[in-house]
Structure 1
């Protein structure tokens, strides 16, 4: 779901329904999404590295993610290139000028995909009651249009 600036600043508050088998661990939580800092339209001088500031999001009340991955892809209308990594995002993404295609449109399209997975285990169940787990995944897709000028 698209988030407005209030949801980005205040976090996304989630309350899960109680399933028939009983309450799940962490049925209420707050998660802070990966978000753009600044405009989706950016100007870049030819020859300079592109630095895109972002809010990398945070786990809120969930604790440390068990898995994190991000990928930034970019194109000038031809083949797309990508930089990806396992682990958390930093507060800015840097695309070196050497990797930006030199031919094509004067506009570079940049896309960021980020995913984080959380697992919250319930305390050990007594007797034969099933042990419940809450699995939560947060994905973000952001786009920028970068005008390359001389």
Structure 2
């Protein structure tokens, strides 16, 4: 659902290292950095609930959307279900921006309509749209839906 680059968590870890005679020293260094800095991050965000409740640390950047486009739908659906209009509109704005960049008029129209429904607080129409879209995205991602306890 959410992603963060490893160099955002620990700036001392780069994407690339040259393999040389000092490989064992490098492996020891990287292992120590991962154990001390990266694993605690995973411990802190070890559930969907924790990630969604603090989603601000996982920014909705265009680069993230273009790579993990479907995952952001699930975050959007969660925000809509919780009636978090501002967060939902923030994600929708990014989806509309992606549609503009891709020159996809159908995507722009669809997300603009959803944004209008949210702004007007038309929850019945929003919920109907949400059920169908969520089912489709969960199927694409091969995730089994969880029953709502309402």
Normalising by structure 2, we get a TM-score of 0.23
Return the structure number with greater relative CO, CA threshold 8 A, min gap 6.
1
Return the structure number with greater strand share.
1
Task: Name the structure with the higher helix share.
Answer: 2
